[in-house]
Amino acid sequence: MKFAVLLVVYTAIICTNVRDSVQQWDTTPHTYVTSRIVYGVNAVCDGAWTDWINLDGPGGAGDEEYLSEAAAQGLVCSSPTAIQAQTVNGIPAEQTGQFIFNHNPYIGFNCINNHQTQPPCLDYKVRYCC
Ligand SMILES: [Ca+2]
């Protein structure tokens, strides 16, 4: 009898923990993505913008301004909520006419030279909302 009661309690604890984990995975990303503008000149920042970050140039494959590299250098938090990108001359990325491959706060930013009708990519800088 003691074994049966213990088994029921143990099963209830496990099921509760699994259900809570699933609820976190199901609800958090959807709310996060759909409730706000997360990139571009109109990106919403409820925290504070970092300084502008420019770790790469357009040589080679293109201009790569990845979140992981900026975070590794301590220039940005690990989970920013928004990103803005502009050329080093201050033109917003979405107004340059270039095809931008990534422009989001989850990966960062990159422009690939051979995706452009007139390569190379311009030199971009990014900032994140933390
Ligand atoms: Ca750059």
| Spans of the chain below 50 pLDDT | 1, 3, 5-33
Query: What is the reported pLDDT for 124?
Result: 98
Which residue is listed with tokens 């809570």?
20
Residue 57 Cα, ligand 1 centroid: separation in angstroms? 4
Using the mean position of ligand 1's atoms as its centre, give its distance from the Cα of residue 17 in Å: 44
Q: How many CB atoms lie within 10 A of CB 115?
A: 14
Q: How far is the CA of 29 from the centre of ligand 1 (A)?
A: 29
Distance in Å, CA 124 to ligand 1 centroid? 4
Q: How many residues does the chain have?
A: 130
Quote the pLDDT of residue 35: 72
Q: What is the pLDDT of residue 26?
A: 40
